Structure 1
């Protein structure tokens, strides 16, 4: 069987998107996931206009849109006062699409379902990679094969989508300091409070923030962020700790927490790559998603940037046809193509990561005076010049897929 081969390490959103994008370009793809089954990390996620355009390239934009609930929302103070209302029609007019929220498992299911049959292998852990310079193929050592064995696979292209603690990144960039803790922890959950929640909102307090996002099926995706030491756990239970921290906030925040059983709460420290990688490739190996540019969640762009990565990567390496088939190795040199991918993606994704860190300082303003000034400024800006507020998202939301 002809055609070029690609191995993708990791079956998160970025890895699955890369597998789909490369398969659509004619590559023979293997997606290797160390877990025994795909279990999406997290509960829900926002898909911004830039990521919807990327999903359109994969043929999944409209299916994602149909699974999302459309409606109003905005930003509120912890007291309940609206600081800014979101006008989805204005967002659509300005950016060509809207921002939708859906279950993370729905998006993972769409991506996994779009992979070629037998492309996904679970229980297979990538332990080392040789980048394959000077005309040689990349080599990938995989453990967990056939009930615990190991093997070395060769590929024209390797995509490292193995997350924030990427083993491939550590191997290729051994001097990089890796992820750092932001000083905060995020709890995520899916629940179904009664009565149902009507509007989406992000709620800002002092050092804390929460997001309440109704979903199409009547359930709610919520996230709650508070200062916490890295690796900590609540002695009396996470639900109790959240009620102590957010119990006096406006409805529906306490009600959503109370409706969630303890086992529904997913606690995760917020870490990011504060030191950007200088590039996203070595030889025939490309880094993608959190492995390349793990970012804080305050702009909701982590998964969105990973999907962009996948689309631009597949475009850069070209068709996967066999030698002499129009998309041959002779016409598209993989290491050179990955250098172009890196030159395109690193400045953009690193800039989004830096912007997310700046947004964190505003969202989680700790001082009483600072939070008061922040809230007053946001409320005034949204009333007087809402277009100015939206303008800050133009560079992020305005991305367009590359054209052949």
Structure 2
């Protein structure tokens, strides 16, 4: 059964409490996790300040895949309608070899059957715009751009939330340096082709892969990894003999719009996403807590689930019950998010195997 209407109604009910008495929170980071946390806390009646070290919102990027569980979290935050306004369903995607032979289907049909709704794809700029728009509608939140977090500055907020990404200053200051970014050998490339390929899913080769998804009418989201490739020419050469439309996607899109970034993850896993001792209660969400590789496409989803769970726990326990709220949040989210992160790293090693014959044989046993 599709629960989107019920979830949206619950989100609207939560929003009606935005003017009630609550605590105060300082959220560091104005990405998906930070803004979604701010929305959830504001709906619980808290006063929220968001600090963002960048001078303006970062509207770069291509597409977010939003799993049905994350869609439900957005419904509870009152953002389900904004998501569905521009999202497209993700269906009929395959895993292929470089010659185009289909090895298996991605499990999208099973996800839709189980959840009663499909996985959705939405352009990253649309979601990044929808989150502050909702904060503006709710009121009571200041977003300070160009303001990096200073761990030595005087406190004052009841709760500190670190949503400042894989290089989190909050994590470094409050959780130590034991868990830190670890870089993989490959870099990731992402871009948008100005046409619909109609061929979606992922193609796995020797040590590299290429993926394509829908994102908006007339456009296709793509992503790839190649060890050692640092230029557009090298990336195009790495996929020149792969099946259509991969060479065409790379040939027909402007390299100036491509984004290249190192593949990284947080390692080792944190023993807790929260702290209450020392300088007061603090919680980590999103990449600050469990940054992962892109292979499962769950980075934004886990950040949204973190944000909604933290806000829900805080609303249930109130400003005076923050220790219990943070225990509840950590208990709900840490193991689940870390399993996803581990699964993504494991899949990355599998996808980029240097001897793909056994891998392809195993994948070929899956339904196609």
SS at match of 1:38: coil
1:251 is matched with 244
Instruction: Say which of 29, 50, 56 aligns to 1:31.
Output: 50
| Contact 2:106–2:201 (Cα < 8 Å) also in 1 | no
User: Deviation of residue 96 (structure 1)?
Assistant: 2.7
Question: Gapped runs of 5+ residues in structure 1?
Answer: 130-140, 142-151, 320-326, 384-404
Instruction: Specify the alignment match of 2:311 in structure 1.
Output: 314
Shift of 1:41: 4.9
Residue 12 of structure 2 corresponds to which residue in structure 1?
Answer: none
Within the alignment, does 1:282 sit opposite 2:259 as a pair?
no
Deviation string for 1:50-71 (max 9, x for gaps)? 2111111112223323312234
The 3-state SS of whatever aligns with 1:19 is: helix
Give the TM-score of the pair, scaled to structure 1: 0.80
Contact 1:288 1:309 in 2 (8 A): yes
SS in 2 for 1:221: strand
Q: 1:105 aligns with which of 125, 149, 174?
A: 125
CA offsets, 1:366-394, max 9 Å, x none?
11xxx1222232223215xxxxxxxxxxx
Which residues of 2 match residues 128-147 of structure 1 at below 5 A? 128=151, 141=153
Aligned length, in residue pairs: 341
Instruction: Determine the structure 2 residue equivalent to 1:271.
Output: 264
Alpha carbons of structure 1 residues 294 and 254: separation in structure 2 relative to 1, 3 Å: same
Answer yes or no: is the 8 Å Cα contact 1:12–1:40 preserved in 2. no
> Of the candidates 117, 120, 138, which is equivalent to residue 143 of structure 2?
120
CA distance in 1, matches of 2:202, 2:43: 37
Question: What's the counterpart of residue 67 of structure 1?
Answer: 86
User: CA separation in 2, counterparts of 1:169 and 1:329?
Assistant: 22
1:72–1:200: 8 Å Cα contact kept in structure 2? yes
RMSD: 1.9
Change (3 A) 1:88 1:270: closer
Structure 1 residue 97: Cα displacement: 2.3
Q: 1:329, 1:12 → 2: CA distance?
A: 24
Partners of 2:187 and 2:60 in 1: CA distance: 15
Instruction: Provide TM-score, normalisation by structure 2.
Output: 0.87
CA distance in 1 between counterparts of 2:158 and 2:275 reads: 13
Alignment partner of 2:361 out of 376, 379, 382? 376
In structure 2, what is the Cα distance between the partners aligned to 1:34 and 1:168? 12
- 1:363 to partner: Cα distance: 1.0
| Rounded Cα–Cα distance in structure 1 between residues aligned with 2:224 and 2:304 | 25
Mapped contact 2:22–2:44 kept (Cα < 8 A): no
Deviation of the 1:86 alpha carbon: 4.4
Q: Deviations over 1:87-131 (max 9, x none)?
A: 7554311233221222111111121211134532211111216xx
**Distance (Å, rounded) in 2 between the aligned partners of 1:301 and 1:154:** 34
2:100 maps to which residue?
A: 80
Q: Deviations over 1:302-330 (max 9, x none)?
A: 111110000110111126xxxxxxx7534
Determine helix, strand or coil for the equivalent of 1:380: coil
Contact 2:105 2:366 in 1 (8 A): no
Q: Which residue of 2 aligns with 1:5?
A: 24
Task: Give secondary structure in 2 for the equivalent of 1:119.
Answer: strand
